[in-house]
Structure 1
Amino acid sequence: MSAALGLLVLLLLVAIAAALLYRGQAISAHADAETARSLSEGLQARLEDERGARAIEQAGARTMARIGTQHEEDRQDAQALPARVVADIDSGVLRLRRQWAACETARLSTASAATVERDAFAELRRKDQGDLVRVGRDANDQVRACQGTVRSLTNAAAPPVGTEP
């Protein structure tokens, strides 16, 4: 009987050891699963952050492309500006300041200048007037494009040149 009791105690100890081993493995597996879930959630959050950053970069790139396209369109429109200005001055729709309207004719003496010279200077003056307006518009377009770029990069909402708040 004492041998049977010893065997029973031994089997009980083996069963307890097996249960503790199984429990330890279950706890370890649960901890591993929790670690994997935590790691997965962290990676998912990083993925979402990167997607958000890419979306912001793509939106910025689209804005910069739009600004560049608008600037190029403005530059192409500006090439036809001198001819329009000359036509508008000739038709009386547009008037320039006095110092530009008569800058070349003030140098001519009507008594000494030949008609051909007066006509040549008048044509040159009209061309120069158109060029002056084109230069001003080019500068304004350039400033507007730069402001758009800065506004895009800083997300500022400043009004463009030539507009009043």
Structure 2
Amino acid sequence: MISLFLSICKAIGKGIAAVPGWAWVALAIAGALLASHLWYGSTRYDAGAASRQQEIDALQTRFDDYVAADRAAAEAAKLAAQTAEQAQRDVFASLDAKHQKDLDDAKRKADAVVAGLRAGNLRLRNEWRGCQANAGRNLSETPASPGVADDATQLREASAGRIIRAGADADAQITGLQSALRTCTAAPNNGAPP
């Protein structure tokens, strides 16, 4: 093919009249082949370009769908986390209210013990009543003057009230902590701190 082209170029260089007829036919065939090749390639390229554009559009649509699904999932997870957080806040608020009520009950119980000891409705065990004097008089008994308790008796009564309150406070604290622990371990929180 190249030798044909070179012979045609030499003939053209000598003048168009010197070009043989078969060369014109060969040149026409070569031109037709070149034109058909260009036409076929361009239509094939156009078809390929359209096909590639369709693929790009399909991939873009899939990507947009994934992004939308991811956003929806993130929004749903955020809403679920907020709901779980609110529920946990409500549970802890109720535990706090119960704990505060238990502390108030402990104070009332301690005050009732002190009042009962002072009124004589309650008595301390022998270990807490006080020591016996050499005279044989029990120091926890009321003094000779009516209506006035001695300092040791008042101190023992107040101490008994403080002991009762400390025990009740400790019970309320332990009960509150146990409830909080049960709540934390029973509620799934996806690894987030309460």
Q: 1:79 to 1:23 in 2, by over 3 A?
A: same
Deviations 1:4-27 (A, max 9, x none): 897676545433322221111011
| Pick aligned residue for 1:146 from 142, 163, 177 | 177
Aligned residues: 152
How high is the TM-score relative to the length of structure 2?
A: 0.59
Deviations 1:122-144 (A, max 9, x none): 55544433332222111111111
Q: Distance in 1 between matches of 2:120 and 2:64?
A: 80
> How far apart are residue 56 of structure 1 and its match?
2.5
Alignment of 1:130-145 (within 5 A): 130-145=161-176
Is residue 75 of structure 2 the alignment partner of residue 58 of structure 1? Answer: no
Alignment of 1:1-165 (within 5 A): 10-87=38-115, 90=119, 92=121, 97-100=125-128, 103-104=129-130, 106-108=131-133, 109-110=136-137, 114-116=143-145, 119-120=149-150, 121-155=152-186
Letter in 2 for 1:115: A
Structure 2 runs not aligned, ≥5 long: 1-27, 188-194
SS of aligned partner of 2:102: helix
How high is the TM-score relative to the length of structure 1?
A: 0.66
Q: Distance in 1 between matches of 2:94 and 2:103?
A: 14
Structure 1 runs not aligned, ≥5 long: 157-165
Asked whether the equivalents of residues 106 and 165 of structure 2 are also in contact (C-alpha less than 8 Å), the reply is yes
Larger Rg: 2
Deviations 1:8-58 (A, max 9, x none): 765454333222211110111101111221232233223323333333333
- Structure of greater relative contact order (alpha carbons < 8 Å, 6+ residues apart): 1
